[in-house]
Amino acid sequence: MSDNFDNYTMMYNVEKEKNNEAKNILSSVYKSLKEKGYNPINQIVGYLLSGDPTYITSYNNARNLIRKLERDELLEELLKNYLETES
């Protein structure tokens, strides 16, 4: 018995992987800030508003992680998740 896949199209969504990366980075940075005794929300907001990476601890490589993504990508992920959970 042979399956015929000629009538099917596989889809690959690069954007979803980028969103997962942003979510994972934000989660990791949040955890690192919390472990070091900072208020993670205030620190991340400070970084997003100013672009100054010193708002983010270097503990657990958090500062380098957050700089892997553009701030607009991080804001997009935050807004998307907020609106999806509020709907």
55 in a structural domain: yes
Domain that holds residue 78: 14-86
Residue 13: per-residue pLDDT: 59
Mean pLDDT of each 10-residue bin along the chain, 87 residues long: 66 64 93 98 96 97 96 90 84
Residue 47: per-residue pLDDT: 97
Measure CA of the first residue to CA of the last residue in the chain; give whole Å.
45
The reply to whether the predicted model has a pTM over 0.85 is no
Residue 7: per-residue pLDDT: 77
4 in a structural domain: no
Residue 53: per-residue pLDDT: 96
Q: What is the pLDDT of residues 49-62, one digit of tens each?
A: 999 999 999 999 99
Phi/psi for 37 (5° steps) reads 90, 10
Number of domains in the chain: 1
Residue 26: per-residue pLDDT: 93
